[in-house]
Structures are given as structure tokens and as C-alpha cells.
Chain A
Amino acid sequence: MQGTATRERFEQAVLPHLDAAYNLARWLTRNEQDAQDVTQEAFLRAFRFFDGYQGGNMRAWLLTIVRNTCYTWLHQNRPPESAVEFDEEIHSSESSVGADPELQALASADKVTLHRALAELPDIFREVLVLREMEGMSYKEIADVASVSLGTVMSRLARARTRLRQSLGAALGKES
């Protein structure tokens, strides 16, 4: 049957990106069961749109759908996130020569601390870090997935990294 053939073609093309899809959903929903449901729904949506897929970057195409599905889901199931403050300064800390405390903090950050710091970032910052650092996507690909400009990708990525560094520094500061 043609439906079978289409499905097989879809599975061959799209299922290899299941881990990437689940990872993004997992980081955006921050819950395992929700991530599974959202991933599954995203795959069904992708299957419906599969005829409209024009070729090109399959992973970016799929992750765009996953992301949209996540945000629809978040919008309906989660209280809105407190507005992201855009006034933060990229902190250029004291120029001490020799031991760099931030570098030490980053070098000794453990998995749990990192995980918490990333999970606490606002969605729009968390997603660019997930796409960049875990999926290794280019700025262009991230811009496509998040439907924003390259400039926005760069500024979000910079803010995301700054925030993550700050919260890692703060977390480690508390412990010691």
C-alpha cells in the first residue's frame, strides 16, 4: 500500500532524529512523561506534513515541529514564565592575573549543578543552548528552528551562556 510506503519512507528519514527530538522536548518540557507525549505528537504532526517537506535539512525540519509542539503544549499546560529580563550586563569580571575563579568554577561544575543551572534558564535561552551545544547546530539552523533572525540567535546564545556562567558561579559560591 502506498500508505505503508510513505510511512516507511517517513520512518527511514525521520526516526534517526528521534533522540534529538526527544532531547529538545525533554529540555523544553523538563519532564520525562510530557517530553514523550510531545515527541510523539510532534512525530504525528511531522508525518502529516511530510508531503510538504521540500527536502533539505531533515533534523532542522523535525526540530522546528518539535519546538512548536512544545510551545503549544507549554502554553496550555504551564503557567506563563516570568518575563525574561533583558537588562543583564555581560559581566566582565575583575581582571585578576593568575587563577581565574570562574574558570575554576566551570572546571569543577558537576553534572547535577549544571543540569539544574540549565533547567532554570528561561525557555528561549535553554533551547538555543540545547540546539548549539548538544545538537551542534549552526546559527543558521538554530535560526530556522526557532524562527528568529541570525542576530537574535547570537544575542540569545550570548545571554544564555552568560546566565549559565553566572548561575554556575553562584551555585558553586554557595557550596564553598
Chain B
Amino acid sequence: MSCKLTQRFVPGYLDGELDLSRTIEMETHLQVCAECARELERLQALRTAMQRGSLAYAAPEGLRERIQSSLRGSAPAVVPERAGFWHSLQFLRPPLLLRWAAAFAVLAFCFVTAWQFLPGLRGPTSEQRLAAEVLTSHVRSLEANHLMDVVSTDQHTVKPWFDGKLDFSPPVEDLASDGFPLVGGRLDYLEGRQVAALVYQRRKHFINLFVWPDASVSNSAKTLASQQGYNMMRWSRGGFQFWAVSDVSAQDLADFVRRIETRISPESK
């Protein structure tokens, strides 16, 4: 008496991996086949024993903190590999250390060489830090479902909404006729100060336009950067600093910025 189904389907039945028709078939079969029924019973007993034995290990105390602190030393925004590499070494024990050292010796050499020739590698500039902050704000505004505090497509609703909330009055323009309708605004923080965030839409995409007064920069040209699939443009005009960030194409974003500029200071174009 050797049932062909025992080895083929009993484990799958136990693990809930059979499709519906096979499951029903096995249920009927198990009532008449002693061999399959006994196999199932034993497999269940094994499972019960393993559960009863509570064999799973929980991470020991302190491991989480150890990992977090090693992550903290790892991979900053602008030059991910370099700092991640050096810092991670401090937490690895000798066998791993040796391995990493061997694996990355060549890389390290490259970085040292690059360090001498590329000043850009020597850490983020204040503008790069600001760019990172702008990007984070943009991503967070989309993720946390906190895109807008005031929802309106009317610039005459959005602009007064900022009164009393900010110590400046941001220029608010609707660009609906240009294909970039204003959909709302909110307060945000960048570099520790309150800024106005104006939200525009381009088809299914959102553009965050951050505005704050900054007398320290004179009217400056637009600079375009792209990070992690997002495009960013920054410029200054009339004592305000502007940052636009979105996942629209660089071309669309440039178009948006050009149109905003035209509205805000018609004389400039």
C-alpha cells in the first residue's frame, strides 16, 4: 500500500500551497487514504513540536541600536559610497574587516585620488544641503498626504491665506492657462525657517514651488539639478529665493519656471 499522492501533495496541503481544486481533492482523499492521513498527522505533529519548541530567535538587545548607529555613519546624500565605507568599517570585527578592506582597497584608492582632483567630493555645499532639504520636503509632502493646507485653484484665496502665517507675502500666480494649474499651498520649513510652498499640478504630477525672502542673493540665473528621479530648479528674483521641485520632466519644469518668471516679473522677459 503505497499512495502516489502522499509525497506529492500532502506537504503542499499542509503548507496551504495547493490550488483550490487540488485542496478539495485532497480533503476527500484524506478521508479514505490512511497513508496520507497518517503522513499529514505526522507532519502536523512536527510543526506543532517546532512551534512548541519556540525555536525562533529574537534579535538580542542592542543589535538594533548597533545597526542604527552603523547606518548613521553610512552613506550620506551626496557621496554615498565614500562615508558609508569608512564608517561601516569601525563596526565590523576583524574577519569582516579584512574582507571589506580587501574588497574595497581599490575603491578606496580611487576615492583618495578623486578627493585630490575633485573639490566637489569634499562634502555637500550649503546649496547641496538645501537641495536635499527641498527634495525631502517635496517627497514628504506627497507621502504624508499633507500636500496642501489650503486647497484652492484661486490665487486670490491662496495668497491671503498666508497672511499672518508668514512674515512675508509670497508671490502667488495661477498658471492654469499655461497647463500648470495652481492647486493649493501650505507652510513648510527649510533651513529652519518658515517658507511658503505653492503646489501646482502638471497632469498627474505635482510641482512644489518653495518661496522665501532672501536678501543675501541677488537676482540669479536658474540652475537645474536632478536627484533620485526628481528635477529641481532654483533661482532668485526680487528678493525672493525660489525652488521648484517635481517629478515632471526637466523640460516641463523649465517651462513651468519660465512661465512663473514671466508672470512675476513681466519686465524681465
Q: With the chains together, A43 CA to B64 CA distance in Å?
A: 10
Interface set of B (CB-CB < 8 Å, partner A): 1-2, 6-7, 11-12, 15, 17, 34-35, 38-39, 41-43, 45-60, 63-64, 66-68, 70-72, 74-77, 80-81, 84, 88, 91-93, 95-96, 99, 124, 129, 131-133, 135-136, 139-140, 227-228
Do A44 and B47 touch (CB < 8 A)?
Answer: no
Chain B's nearest CB lies how many Å from the CB of A102? 6
The one of A23, A95, A138, A158 in contact with B35, judged by C-beta atoms closer than 8 angstroms, is: A95
- B12 partner residues in chain A, CB cutoff 8 A: 154
Is A174 close to B, CB under 8 A? no
- B57 partner residues in chain A, CB cutoff 8 A: 19, 22-23, 26-27, 35
Do B59 and A18 touch (CB < 8 A)?
Answer: yes
Known: A1-B132, A10-B71. A115 touches B59 (CB 8 A): no
Q: Which of A52-60, A79-87, A105-113 is found at the contact surface with chain B?
A: A105-113
Main secondary structure of the interface of A (DSSP, over half): helix
Is A124 close to B, CB under 8 A? no
Do B77 and A1 touch (CB < 8 A)?
Answer: yes
Quick one: CB contact mask for A132-144 with B, threshold 8 Å, 1 for yes?
1110001100000
Q: With the chains together, A139 CA to B1 CA distance in Å?
A: 29
Do A107 and B49 touch (CB < 8 A)?
Answer: yes
Do A18 and B71 touch (CB < 8 A)?
Answer: no
Do A44 and B70 touch (CB < 8 A)?
Answer: yes
Within 8 A of B (CB), among A97-121: 100, 102-103, 106-107, 109-111, 114-115, 118
Known: A6-B77, A36-B66, A109-B53. A41 touches B59 (CB 8 A): no
Q: With the chains together, A89 CA to B129 CA distance in Å?
A: 64
Is A65 close to B, CB under 8 A? no
